[in-house]
Chain A
Amino acid sequence: MKVLVIAEHDNHKLAAATLNAISAAQQFGGEVQVLVAGCDCAAAVSEAGAVQGVAQVLSANAAHYRDQLVENLAALAAGLVRDEGFNAVLAGGSSFGKNLAPRLAALLDVAPVSDVVSIAAPGRYVRPIYAGNVMVSVESDEPMQVLTVRTTAFEAAAAGGNATLRELSPREDLGVSRLVGRELSKSERPELTAARIVVSGGRGLSSGEKYREVMEPLADRLGAALGASRAAVDAGFVPNDYQVGQTGKIVAPDLYVAVGISGAIQHLAGMKDSKVIVAINKDPDAPIFQVSDYGLVGDLFEMVPELVAGLAVQ
């Protein structure tokens, strides 16, 4: 059994999702190799080589891999899987993995499996459907298993490995899509999907200004990542990458604080596996209270500042 993990990285650092995918790959019980395709990506290659459980890192270095454009990456990975006889290919269930894995699977003429949360054996998985309201067990006899894994369901693989490195020759540039630019949110806060505490704000915050005024001190106090409901993103309070939910990010922190969020099923899909959920909402019947461990009924504009002040006192 040979398992390939496709690394997500920015040529310098691996994305956290790759570490979750590596630990999922280890559950196949075979040899785990990691593909790092990029340009001047030696740092990412050596980081991958130092992850526990990785036997070999395959690196492909070319200008046309720099921007991680999917057409070139999928073609490279498909060729590699065929030529070297990989039995399974995994990627993290991030926007990178979701974009890539189905394209790769189609090039190999196999059915991909998305968002796997548990691996019983190679070809036997569990995944959520219907916004996480149903868990389905899936069996696949495909000769090459292609899957994305939900990052919250697998521990991040630790450092401490010592993989061999092998350089691959790049494939030709397909010259299909071209990167025009990126507007990436910069933040000193922990990354949303990997944070131990997440504080999320919804439509109840009423504006972007109020969101920042109310939510940032709470996040600062708790060392938390900031999240939001779709309604708050659609209304322009915060950027799109804050969205938690069925169609946004999936989080499962130790503590999730939902502020002015009603608790629509599409939102719950993204956070109901959190260990402890706190809801602050003025409507005592808001559905969010059905999943929260601690509910506080009241006006968030009073409650949150009071909470921030209270947390300052030991």
Chain B
Amino acid sequence: MKILVPVKRVVDYNVKVRVKSDHSGVELSGVKMAINPFDEISVEEAVRLKEAGIASEVIAVSCGAAVCQETLRTALAMGADRAILVETSAELQPLAVGKLLKAVAEREQPQLVICGKQAIDDDANQTGQILAALMGWGQATFASKLLVDKGTIRVTREVDGGLETLELPLPAVVTSDLRLNEPRYATLPNIMKAKKKPLDVIPAADLGVDIAPRLRHLQHAEPPARKAGVKVADVAELIEKLRHDAKVI
């Protein structure tokens, strides 16, 4: 069973981003970038399925500029077998990424695609669902547990009310939530080995899909900052403030 794992290069989760002074976007120059944490979890899950003898090959795929090769090398260092970069310098929105991934999936014929549930930059939470729809496959989003059994998967999903378990026929799309696993650190020898693993670059134009942005992102603004309040001396003062100043209790 082949597994396809889409990975995105995003601003590192520890960075507090700043809006550009002309409000056209977010300042990215000189900012630390990393693999989207949810995609890292997806790579880990796929690699574990390979180590368990369930998956035969793990293919990482990223859509974007040439620098996304770094992100793919991270996935390779974690244990993916090979990587594909769908290269374009154009702005990509989730619908376009879904179409590019569909084209890749049609070439590679994976039985399972594991996406992150959301990317921590645009927080869209869309790509996996879009890809599943375009392929006509089932989807199990926000997965915290995944069991593969021959032609089906059983996925436990984190939903608002608790947990839900679904069974789906393969091929299918799963999106990973935080508690699916704890990703490994890539070791130095594996980072070295990853440099020699195959990484194919496909120009996005060769896939023949419409990737023009459908949405225009205009003004970017920082939300009004909360002003820091006061430190209270003790519990009695806290109760006093809540009752008589804030009047919330």
Does B219 interact with chain A (Cβ within 8 Å)?
yes
- A130 touching B17 in the complex, CB below 8 Å, given contacts A102-B130, A103-B132, A278-B242: yes
* Residue of A177, A230, A272, A292 with highest tally of chain B CB at under 10 A: A177
Interface residue A27 (Cβ < 8 Å from any Cβ of B): no
A247 touches B215 (CB 8 A): no
* CA gap between A239 and B72 in the complex, in Å: 33
**Partner-binding segment picked from A33-41, A43-51, A111-119, A163-171:** A111-119
Q: With the chains together, A88 CA to B172 CA distance in Å?
A: 28
**Contacts A114-B126, A182-B163, A239-B162: A246 and B133 contacting too (C-beta < 8 A)?**
no
A residues 286-310 near B (Cβ < 8 Å) are: 289-297, 303, 306-307, 310
Q: Among the listed stretches A55-63, A79-87, A135-143, which one makes contact with chain B, having 4 or more residues with CB under 8 Å of it? A: A135-143
Q: How far is the CB of B234 from chain A (nearest CB, A)?
A: 8
Tell me the A251-301 residues at the B interface (CB within 8 Å). Answer: 254-255, 265-266, 272, 275-278, 284, 289-297
Chain A residues with CB under 8 Å of B246's CB are: 255, 275-276, 293-294
Q: Specify which chain A residues have a CB less than 8 angstroms from the CB of B222 in the assembled complex.
A: 133-135
Q: Which 6 A-B pairs have the closest CB atoms?
A: A293-B229, A106-B133, A102-B129, A111-B214, A102-B126, A176-B138
Cα of A136 to Cα of B98 in the assembled complex, Å: 22
A111 touches which of B142, B215, B219, B223 (Cβ 8 Å): B215
Q: Is A173 an interface residue (CB 8 A)?
A: no
Q: Does A99 contact B (CB under 8 A)?
A: yes
CB distance from A104 to the nearest CB of B (A): 8
A44 to B98, CA, bound (A): 34
Given contacts A142-B214, A294-B241, contact A114 B228 (CB under 8 A): no
Query: Which chain A positions have C-beta within 8 A of B130?
Result: 102-103, 105-106, 112
Closest residue of A by beta carbon distance from B229: A293
* Chain A residue at smallest Cβ distance from B122: A129
* Docked complex Cα distance between A6 and B242 (Å): 39
Total count of chain B residues near the partner, CB < 8 A: 78
Interface string of A65-108 (1 = CB under 8 A from B): 00001110010000000000000000000111011111111110
With A106-B98, A114-B125, A114-B126 known to touch, is A184 a contact of B162 (CB < 8 Å)? yes
Determine the chain A residues whose CB is within 8 A of the CB of B169 once the complex forms. 176
Majority DSSP secondary structure for residues of A touching B:
mixed
Which residue on chain B has the smallest CB distance to residue A133?
A: B17
A-contacting residues, B114-170, CB 8 Å: 117-118, 120-127, 129-134, 137-142, 144, 154, 157-169
Say yes or no: is A195 at the interface (Cβ < 8 Å to chain B): no
B197-238 CB contact bits vs A (8 Å, 1 = yes)? 000000000000000011111111111001011111011101
A290 pairs with B228, CB closer than 8 A: yes
Q: Is A190 an interface residue (CB 8 A)?
A: no
- Provide the bound-state CA to CA distance between A154 and B222, in Å: 20
**Minimum CB distance partner of B142 in chain A:** A95
Q: Is the CB of A177 within 8 A of B140?
A: yes
Structural contact, A138 and B215, CB atoms closer than 8 A: yes
Contact of B231 among A137, A179, A254, A295 (CB under 8 A): A295
The 8 Å CB contact of A197, one of B154, B215, B234, B248, is: B248
Interface size on A, residues (CB 8 A): 86
What chain B residues lie within 8 Å of A115 (beta carbons)?
A: 123, 125
A254 to B248, CA, bound (A): 7
A163 to B133, CA, bound (A): 32
* A130:B120 contact, CB within 8 angstroms: yes
A156: Cβ under 8 A from any B Cβ:
no
**Among candidates A95, A177, A292, residue contacting B166 with C-beta atoms closer than 8 Å:** A177
B179 on the A face (CB < 8 A)? yes
CB distance from B9 to the nearest CB of A (A): 15
How far apart are A284's CB and chain B's nearest CB, in angstroms?
8
Instruction: List the B side residues contacting A222 at CB < 8 Å.
Output: 249
A234-B179 in contact (CB<8A):
yes
Q: When the two chains form their complex, are residues A296 and B95 in contact, meaning their CB atoms are under 8 A apart?
A: no
**With A and B bound together, what is the CA distance between A121 and B13 in angstroms?**
33
Known: A128-B223, A176-B138. A185 touches B161 (CB 8 A): yes
